[in-house]
Amino acid sequence: MEVTVEQLHEWAARQAGGDDKAAAELLAEITLEPTKREWNYWCDPPEVGVFAATGIDGAHFGQFVAEDGTWPVVLIAPECAENCWTIVGQSLDEFLCLGCQVGYGVLVELATQPAETVRRIEEPEATTPRQQEILESLRQEFSLAPWEDVGRRLFELQELYLDELILPD
């Protein structure tokens, strides 16, 4: 079963006892701040539906429909003029697996320090106890497992989907 953004938000609401504000704060703890606002950065592809902000330099995550019918997740990092688009999952499930041990803020660094960031994902450093609690609950709820070979898979995803983005002029 593929995880949807709605299911992610429902999980957060259950964790927060039905309090929408507390659910948003819970997701923000792992750097997946829910967002419904329009994103109009110079680098936002028009076909991408943004589902989460990071709170880090305008970086945000969105999905688009690929030619093969999948819904890849793209990291958009407006502060990175050279490399502001990184495909970070073929689906929301795969994306959630990528950050399921370190949180999702670390992924922003893929745009500027890819090799170091891959190392940090594969050899997770300590996060706060609260973040670990949230990430553990997320892993259990959606049966998430960390990626085996992060660098290889990220390369494959760029090859598969990056050219499908309609990039702004």
- For the stretch 41-98, pLDDT in tens is 777 788 888 899 898 888 899 999 998 889 999 999 988 777 889 999 999 999 999 9
The overall longest dimension of the chain from CA atoms, in Å, is: 44
Residue 150 covered by a domain: yes
Residue 71 covered by a domain: yes
| pLDDT of 131 | 93
Residue 148 covered by a domain: yes
pLDDT at position 19 over 90: yes
| pLDDT of 124 | 87
How many structural domains does the chain have? 1
Residue 57 covered by a domain: yes
- For the stretch 106-150, pLDDT in tens is 999 999 899 999 999 999 887 899 999 999 999 999 999 999 999
Contacts 24+ apart (CB under 8 A), 100-103: 100/135, 100/138, 100/139, 100/144, 100/145, 100/146, 101/135, 101/146, 102/127, 103/30, 103/31, 103/127, 103/131, 103/135
Residue 169 covered by a domain: no
Domain encompassing residue 47: 5-164
Residue 63 covered by a domain: yes
pTM value?
0.92
Give the pLDDT band of residue 37 (cuts 50, 70, 90).
low
pLDDT at position 15 over 90: yes
Give the pLDDT band of residue 167 (cuts 50, 70, 90).
confident
Residue 100 covered by a domain: yes
